[in-house]
Amino acid sequence: MANNHIDITVEPGEVHALLGENGAGKSTLMNQLYGLLQPDEGEIVVNDEPKVFRSPRDAIAAGIGMVHQHFMLVPVFTVAENIALGAEETRGGPLGWLDRRRARRDVLETSKRFGLPVDPDALIEDLPVGAQQRVEIVKALTRDVDLLILDEPTAVLTPQETDELLAVMRSLTEMGKSIVFITHKLKEVKKIADRITVIRRGQVVGTATPDTSEDELAALMVGRAVSLEVDKSPAEPGSVVLQVAGLVVDDDRGVRAVDGVDLEVRAGEVLGIAGVQGNGQTELVEAVMGLREVRAGKVELDSEDLAGKSTKRILRAGVGYVPEDRSHDGVVKEFTVAENLILDLYDREPFGNAFRLDRAKIDGNAKHRVEQFDIRCQSPESTAGSLSGGNQQKVVIAREMSRPLRLFIASQPTRGVDVGSIEFIHRRIIRERDQGTAVLVVSSELDEVVGLADRIAVMYRGRILAIVSPDTPREEIGLLMAGITGAPAEEEGTK
Amino acid sequence: MSTTTVEELAEVTAPEPFWTRQRRLGLALILLGVVGAVLFGSLAPSKDARFTLTEDAAGAALSINGQFGAVLFGVLTLVAGGALIAGVAKRWSNALLAAGIVTFVLSFLCWQVAGQFMALEDTLGGTMDLALPLILGALAGVLGERSGVVNVAIEGQFLMGAFAGALVGTMAGSVWAGLISAAVGGVIIAAILAVLSIRYLVDQTVVGIVLNLFALGITGFLYERLMQPDAAGYNTPPQMPSWRIPGLADIPVLGPVFFDATLLLWVALILVVVIHFALNRTRWGLRTRAVGEHPTAADTVGIRVRGLRYLNVLLGGVVAGLGGAYFTLVATGSFTKNMTAGAGFIALAALIFGRYTPIGAFGAALFFGFAQKLSFYLSAIGSPVPNQFLSMLPYLATIIAVAGLVGRVRAPAADGLPYVKN
């Protein structure tokens, strides 16, 4: 059961924050409100009228709009086409020509009225995520909504874009619109929300006002006191373990994604790579791991050349790797936990050889790792797919940390992971560092990078713009993430 | 004032690899040019190759010494390839590629036709005839695939259409009843494809292959049990009449092909235009493309994803069924077992070669039709090229076109993926 007897009321003109961990049931709740899922019990009342939403069509008609976490935009369509879709104006009946001029005009009008600049003729796939999000909001607003649901809208934004979005939300509520703001980020909730409802395991566990402290909110969200800081002693960097110089890598479409990156990671330090998603971080890591062709430049592990080597060779050279897409690249969901724990060593003693697997050894290993890494599963024979995101991630980390490592690379190590597991994973990463392993962490959550890293490299459009200390003010790192270098101007107006 | 954005900094550093797609195609053209100029040139007899307008061998539109022509056109292919390698603006590269291929074909023809003649009217007419079912089949594919349903059952739809058209046409004694039944035959296969792939989420390619085998089996069975014993009662459908439009039909070459033709040719040509505009300019088209690219996005704005997919697959069934009617109501006059002989798969190739667009699919269908016509023509004039090789020609052209010329075709993003809510 994803939702268990939840009651929630949203007043006109308010920002109502729905706070909860990944998997707490926030999105499920909102998908019912938007007609994508049907509730088994309970009712939805809009302006004192009970409503039944069989599909989003009904929800839209009742004045509800939603901006989904993964944008619902067709990449090969223009902005105007995306906004018109589903409510197209035609000339000469439903089979007539689309009225493209009118579609453009509607977009421009809404865009102007609410102060959300969008170019109606741009193709979605050419737009940065921030602009795509504006398109989504305009799309909802052209449908005359009274209630706008924003599902994790800040996950893909830079700190500056986030501030802009919060300003937009503020002005929308001033015009009488109500907003449901779904998030797990405490800072933003405190900044913008009028009221806060906290959800855990499908149930409302409390309501709060914005003056509640972050620690209290976190405790409410997780169900126990948690520490939001990463405990660590100063790093004691040793010799250079990973050296990347002049690295050039293309993405899947053949477009340059990494454009001459130089960096080095020393033994016993954590280098964090900050940046908005899609600025080449994925390709950089994949190239180091031998998963993507190195177009130019060098990748060296303790002066041994890795470029062009197979991923298997690279792993066996002493590299641990946590891929960013856990369910695709991290675990085989249909395999058991025990099997997932030896995916890297299945053909080696003691687990097996070219002809057979040693089940007893595999099971023994699994029992040990499950305990050591606090993997919560019914048994090591459960399939990995039946585990929660956080526990799947612990399986990946347990596997990768079970070999002697010289370099540990983690991409988005805590994406979609519950707060409890985040604490554990962070402690493990720091322990690995303290044992003298070089650690490279890539994350689009600035908090995570700042918490873990000893040095932070900011990546923008395939380049490292700067390497800064984690004590650098957030605003400065935020500007770098938006591609703005040099001394930040005094009045950093966004307009 | 002191802020700068990165775009203003230095530009891309790493160099492009030398062997781009354009250069590789150029190299291929140069090799073809050498084959044309040297091999065809040396094999061609020094006699006139005459390209005439009509079959009566009079009034050559173009007459050229075969040997000279083979060398000349081979050299032109070389030049086109050379230009591609030397590097030209991108917008010229497709035109050069086309020119290279055309000149290579001409070089080959000069060798083959030397001492004989080739009638343009016959060539064009044959190309259109052979391309006709391919056009309809590929359009059926466009309708399904643009909405996200892969249709590899075009072959099966052809067979059912051909069979139903022959059977009902004969029994009712009316070619129009046959034509409608052919469409119904196509829709039957389409309906099974739609239900299994949209409702029951079965792998669409597998369903398509199974449906092809099903159509082959059931029409083959009924043919042997029903049609063969009593051909007069079940398998002598009336033929679709040619309509001669006075005046226009007298235009040389084009007239007899287009203005003394069956209704089906016109249906196909009109459908190409109609589907092209409907896909790009109407509400139905916008929604179809949205459902094929990003069904969840379409759903969240209130579009009925599955309903639209059903509609499109069934419409595709109508079009493919009409394509099947060609085989029994226009081309041969009776049904035979497996008479479509893979045309449905060539239509599928035309769809991909045509980049999932109606106009592209039309062009690709013409190209494959021409390759087929050429193989018939060459064996008719007693070409020294072995017969087996000639009958390979259309399929060879298909493979080269799909594998080499198109590069990477981007299919609709959700093509072949069933839509399941959450």
Q: Judge whether B274 is closer than 8 Å to chain A, CB to CB.
A: no
Residues of A in contact with B356 (CB under 8 A): none
User: Cβ of A86 under 8 Å from any chain B Cβ?
Assistant: yes
Q: Based on the domain organization, do B31 and B139 belong to the same domain?
A: no
Q: Which of A93-97, A102-106, A181-185 has the highest mean pLDDT?
A: A102-106
The stretch A446-455 carries a mean pLDDT of 92
What confidence tier does A6 reach under pLDDT thresholds 50, 70, 90? confident
Q: Do A260 and B13 touch (CB under 8 A)?
A: yes
Please tell me whether residues B111 and B141 are part of one structural domain.
no
Q: What is the pLDDT along chain B (422 residues), one digit of tens a residue?
A: 344 444 433 344 445 667 777 888 888 889 999 999 999 999 988 888 888 887 776 666 788 888 999 999 999 999 999 998 887 777 788 888 889 988 999 999 999 888 888 888 899 999 999 999 999 999 999 999 999 999 999 999 999 999 999 999 999 999 999 999 999 999 999 999 999 999 999 999 999 999 999 999 999 999 999 999 999 999 999 999 988 888 888 888 888 888 888 999 999 999 999 999 999 999 999 999 999 999 999 999 999 999 999 999 999 999 999 999 999 999 988 999 999 989 999 999 999 888 899 999 999 999 889 988 988 898 888 888 887 887 787 777 777 777 766 666 788 989 988 888 75
Contacts of B286 in chain A (CB under 8 A): 77, 81, 84-85, 88, 98
A255 touches chain B (CB under 8 A): no
Instruction: Determine contact: B408 vs chain A, CB below 8 A.
Output: no
- Residue A242 CA, chain-centre distance (Å), reads 26
Contact of A481 with A280, CB cutoff 8 Å? no
pLDDT at position A97: 92
Question: Does residue B203 sit in the same domain as residue B340?
Answer: yes
Contact B290 A85 (CB under 8 A): yes
Query: Within a domain: residue B295?
Result: yes
Quick one: which of B306, B325, B305, B307 has its CA closest to B317? Answer: B325
Name residues 304-343 of chain A within 8 A of B (Cβ).
Answer: none
- What CATH number is given to the structural domain containing B335? 1.10.3470
For residue B100, the enclosing domain spans 21-115
Residue B420 located in a structural domain? no
Residue A202 pLDDT: 85
| Per-residue pLDDT band at A1 (split at 50, 70, 90) | low
Is A22 a residue whose pLDDT tops 80?
no
Single out the residue of B101, B136, B122, B99 nearest to residue B51, CA to CA: B122
Cβ–Cβ below 8 Å for B297 and A73:
yes
For chain B, the domain total comes to 2
Please tell me the distance from the alpha carbon of residue A132 to that of residue A153, in angstroms, as a whole number: 11
* CA atoms of B207 and A34, how far apart (whole Å): 34
Question: Final residue of a domain: which of B64, B85, B115?
Answer: B115
Kindly report the nearest CA distance between residue B20 and chain A, in angstroms: 12
- Weakest-pLDDT range from A149-153, A386-390, B182-186: A386-390
Same domain, B59 and B175: no
Kindly indicate the confidence band of residue A489, based on its pLDDT and cuts at 50, 70 and 90.
very low
Q: Please say which residue of B95, B115, B135 terminates a domain.
A: B115
B127 assigned to some structural domain: yes
Give the span between the Cα atoms of A288 and A280, in whole angstroms: 12
Residue A430 has pLDDT above 50, yes or no: yes
- Whether residue B131 sits in one domain with residue B155: yes
- The per-residue DSSP string of B194-260 comes to HIIIIIS---HHHHHHHHHHHHHHHHHHHIIIIITTTHHHHS-PPPPPEEE-TTGGGSTTHHHHHSE
Interface contact flag, A74 B297, Cβ < 8 Å: yes
- pLDDT at position A231 is 83
Mean pLDDT of chain A: 89
Please give the pLDDT value at position B57.
63
Judged by a CB distance cut-off of 8 A, whether residue A103 touches chain B is: no
User: How far is the C-alpha of B358 from the C-alpha of B147, rounded, in Å?
Assistant: 14
pLDDT value of position A376: 87
For residue B397, which amino acid is it? A
Do B298 and A56 lie within an 8 Å CB cutoff? Answer: no
- Minimal CA separation from B136 to chain A, in Å: 22
- Closest in A36, A87, A486 to B421, CB measured: A36
Spatial separation of the C-alpha atoms in residues A151 and A162, rounded to whole Å = 14
Q: How many CB pairs under 8 A join A and B?
A: 115
List CB contacts (< 8 A) between A259 and chain B.
12-14
pLDDT of residue A263: 94
CB B421 to CB A37 under 8 A? Answer: yes
Q: Which of B216, B185, B218, B211 minimizes the C-alpha distance to B196?
A: B211
Contact residues on chain A for B303, CB-CB shorter than 8 A: 85-86
In degrees, rounded to 5, the angle at the alpha carbon of residue A186 between the alpha carbons of residues A184 and A188 is: 100
The most distant pair of C-alpha atoms in chain A lies apart, rounded to whole Å, by 74
Q: Is residue B326 part of a domain?
A: yes
A57 Cα to chain B: minimum distance (Å): 4
| All domains in chain A, ordered by first residue | 15-222 (3.40.50.300), 240-481 (3.40.50.300)
- B329 vs A297: CA distance, rounded Å: 65
- Is B10 near chain A, with CB under 8 Å? no
- DSSP three-state, residue A136: helix
Instruction: Say yes or no for a CB contact (<8 Å) between A76 and B283.
Output: no
Least confident of A184-198, A221-235, B292-306, B402-416: B402-416
B15, part of any domain: no
Q: Are residues B42 and B191 in the same domain?
A: no
Q: Which pLDDT score, from 0 to 100, does residue B3 have?
A: 42
Q: Which of A56, A295, A488 sits opposite B301 (nearest CB)?
A: A56
Do residues B75 and B198 share a domain?
no
Suggest the residue from B3, B283, B415, B422 to mutate for an interface test with chain A (most A CBs closer than 10 A).
Answer: B283
From the list B279, B242, B235, B268, the residue with the least C-alpha distance to B257 is B242
Q: Are residues B136 and B104 in the same domain?
A: no
SS3 A250: strand
Q: How far is CA B236 from CA B158, B239, B336, in A?
A: 18, 9, 11
Mutate to test the interface with A, among B12, B277, B286, B296 (most CBs of A within 10 A): B286
More confident residue, B228 or A161: B228
Cβ contact B281–A98 (<8 Å):
yes
Residue B207 sits in the same domain as residue B99 = no
What residues of chain B lie within 8 A of the CB of A88, using their CB? 283, 286-287
| Contacting A residues, span 192-251, partner chain B, CB-CB under 8 Å | 248
Choosing among A54, A68, A76, A150, which should be mutated to test the B contact, i.e. which has the most B CBs within 10 A? A76
Closest residue on chain B to A256 (Cα): B12
Please choose, from the candidates B368, B411, B30, the residue with its C-alpha nearest in 3D space to the C-alpha of residue B204. Answer: B411
CA distance A327 to A315: 20
CB proximity list for B58: less than 8 A, separation 6 or greater: B52
Is residue B153 situated within a structural domain?
Answer: yes
Rounded Cα distance, A26 and A68, in Å: 12
CB contact under 8 A, B4 and A488: no
Q: Do residues B355 and B223 share a domain? A: yes
Average of pLDDT values for A332-356?
90
Q: Read off the pLDDT band of A494 (50, 70, 90).
A: very low
Mean pLDDT score, A448-472: 94
| CA proximity to A88, closest of A143, A132, A126, A125 | A143
Answer yes or no: do B353 and B259 share one domain. Answer: yes
Q: Are residues B65 and B128 in the same domain?
A: no
How do residues A31-50 score in pLDDT, each as one tens digit?
Answer: 889 988 888 888 889 988 89
Instruction: Give me the pLDDT at residue B286, please.
Output: 96
Asked whether residue B7 is domain-assigned, the answer is no
Residue B3 lies in a domain: no
Give the gap in angstroms from C-alpha A372 to the nearest C-alpha of chain B.
34
Contact (CB<8Å) B12/A487: no
Q: Is A272 helix (H, G, I), strand (E, B) or coil?
A: strand
Contact A76 B293 (CB under 8 A): yes
Return the structure tokens found at A259.
Answer: 């454009």
Tell me if chain B has a CB within 8 Å of the CB of A95: yes
Give B92 or A146, the one with higher predicted confidence: A146
Q: Which residue, chain included where needed, has tokens 């998603």?
A: A277
Q: How many CB atoms lie within 10 A of CB A53?
A: 22
A483 has pLDDT over 50: yes
Q: Decide if A74 and B289 are in contact by the 8 Å CB cutoff.
A: yes
Interface check B2 vs A, CB under 8 A: yes
Residues A67-80: what's their mean pLDDT? 93
Query: Do B179 and B367 contact (CB within 8 A), yes or no?
Result: no
Residue-level pLDDT at B52: 85
Give the type of residue at B254: L
Give the number of residues written for chain B.
422
Q: Which residue of A34, A72, A82, A85 is the best one to mutate when testing the B interface, meaning the one whose CB has the most B CBs within 10 A?
A: A85
- pLDDT at residue A486 in the model: 66
* List of chain B residues whose C-beta atoms are within 8 Å of the C-beta of residue A77: 286, 289-290, 293
CA A69 to chain centre: 10
HSE on the CB side for A241, CA within 13 Å?
Answer: 24
pLDDT value of residue B6 = 41
Which of B115, B139, B163 is the endpoint of a domain?
B115
